[in-house]
Amino acid sequence: MKPAKTDSTSLTPQQILRRRNDEEVIQLIADYRRTRRAEIRDRIVLQYSNLVEGVARRFHGAAEPVEDLAQEGYIGLITAIDLYDPTKNVKFSTYSTHFIIGQIKHCLRDRGKIIKEPAWLQELNQKVSRVIESLTQELGDAPSNEEIGRMMGMAEEQVAELMMTREIFKVSSIDGGSEREEDNGQTVNIERRKTGDQMVGFQLPLEERIVLDTAMDKLKDLEQQVIAEFYFKDLNQTEIAKLLGISCNYVSHILRTSTKKLKKILVTDEMIEAQRNLAHLQKRVTEQQIAPEPHSMVDPLTRLYNRYYYESRLEEEMSRSSREGKKVSVIFLRIQNFSPFRTQNGTLPADEALTETTQTIRGCIRRVDILTRYDKDTFALILPFTGETGALVLERLRGKLSILYEAKGWSRGGIGLTIRMGMATCPDEARQGMALTLCAIGRMENAESVPEIEERKAA
């Protein structure tokens, strides 16, 4: 029996604040769906920055910089904002967490990273699996976090956190768990969340759905139908048994055996793909003679990634752009007269100009954007999911840097520093990384300098 809903008068101040935040976000999302204004989406992203950063930190064992994982998480959050439907009665924080984790796992899978699950978490997961299995058989449906918590003597928030951690460690090994876990009949999809009397299934990314559909074709017709009814149409085992005219036990057996078959099919396909990727990587390393060490990808002064990282990351973002039909833009920014300025004023003032410029640029962009030091006097900025609105970023940078250089006096004197900028967008102006880069650099070379342009406007 479900507990009665909590009366608003009995809510704690924290719960009241959380409810107000949820209502505000739903209104913002409704405004964004109506207007598609980037600044509204950015407000939502900012409100959930702690969630993204928190999820990213949980992947710290993946030998990948947390900053990189957070950038992937922000991409997942933006996808969730674009797809969220408030009428489904799913909290946006729950919905977006699925996409944040999924995007980070997708990145780790592409980069071949492995996370080792701690022994204490393995033991706790076994207990949770047994509780979920018991409650599923008792209720005839997947239990909620609250029901699991009552059985285990844990708060609902602790169960939700544990479920998130279980999701994270699903990327831990290529064989996807122990035999014990496979044999205990645990077929509950923890990405499904109960809301009222309905189960809500989250939408898979298109490329993952294609892979899954291909694997499903290798199962028997009855196995395909049972999996489709349970995972995609949100029917419970009792409803499936009535629909197909078979027993609940047989439905449970089909779910258990068919998901094991799917796992083997997907693992085999992934291994084949991994072997192809390895051969491709070995070929690239041979062509380049030597691959750079990870520490050489970070500029020691500005703590920004360098040109090599920019080029490899741009290829990833353009591939994503092609898959998802989204735009991606790059902005190049050069400090003019930097070498003469260093010669005339010394290393310390020149280094200060670099670090202050870096901080100013960071203050003008989103966390999902990727800022790199392309050359000694040049920055390169990748703007995922950005098309024409990149021009607004360009203007914001122009204004902030003009103020900075004027305040510091760097634009005055015999050898004054100025800024040149140029932007290009994929796929509007180029579909290959090198072509997009050259387009942006060409526009930067032909652009007017800042703050000279500001001085002319004032005149």
φ/ψ (deg, to 5) at 235: -85, 145
CA distance 56 to 94: 16
CA distances in angstroms from 343 to 122, 348, 351, listed in the order given: 60, 11, 12
d(CA 217, CA 171): 24
- Quote the distance between the C-alpha of residue 163 and its chain's center: 18
Find all residues with CB under 8 Å of 442, minimum gap 6, and list them: 422
> pLDDT for 410-436, tens place per residue?
887 777 888 999 999 998 888 888 889
* pLDDT tens, position by position, 224-269: 889 888 877 778 888 898 998 898 889 888 988 888 888 787 766 5
Ordered DSSP codes for 308-321: HHHHHHHHHHHHHH
Integer Cα distance of 102 and 73 in angstroms: 8
Tens-digit pLDDT profile for residues 137-164: 888 778 888 888 888 877 787 777 777 6
Residue pair 391/423 in contact (Cβ under 8 Å)? The answer is yes
Task: Name residue, tokens 């021009």.
Answer: 391
Walk me through the domains of the chain, giving residue ranges and CATH numbers: 8-200 (no CATH), 204-291 (1.10.10.10), 305-458 (3.30.70.270)
Tell me what pLDDT residue 4 has: 44
How do beta strands 198-200 and 328-336 pair?
unpaired
**Structure tokens belonging to residue 313:** 């990351």
Q: What is the mean pLDDT of the chain?
A: 76
- How many angstroms separate the CA atoms of 21 and 41, rounded? 15
- Give the C-alpha separation, 250 to 223, whole Å: 11
pTM for the full model? 0.45
Q: Give the torsion through C-alpha atoms of 317, 321, 324, 326, to 10 deg.
A: 120
- Tell whether the model's pLDDT for residue 182 goes beyond 50: no
Question: Residue 92's pLDDT band (boundaries 50, 70, 90)?
Answer: confident
List C-alpha distances in Å: 220 to 77, 128, 301.
36, 31, 59
Residue 238 carries which side chain, given as an amino acid letter?
T
pLDDT value for 318: 86
Q: What is the pLDDT of residue 18?
A: 56
How distant is the alpha carbon of residue 409 from its chain centre? Answer: 40
Compute the distance between CA of residue 361 and CA of residue 365 in angstroms, rounded to an integer.
7
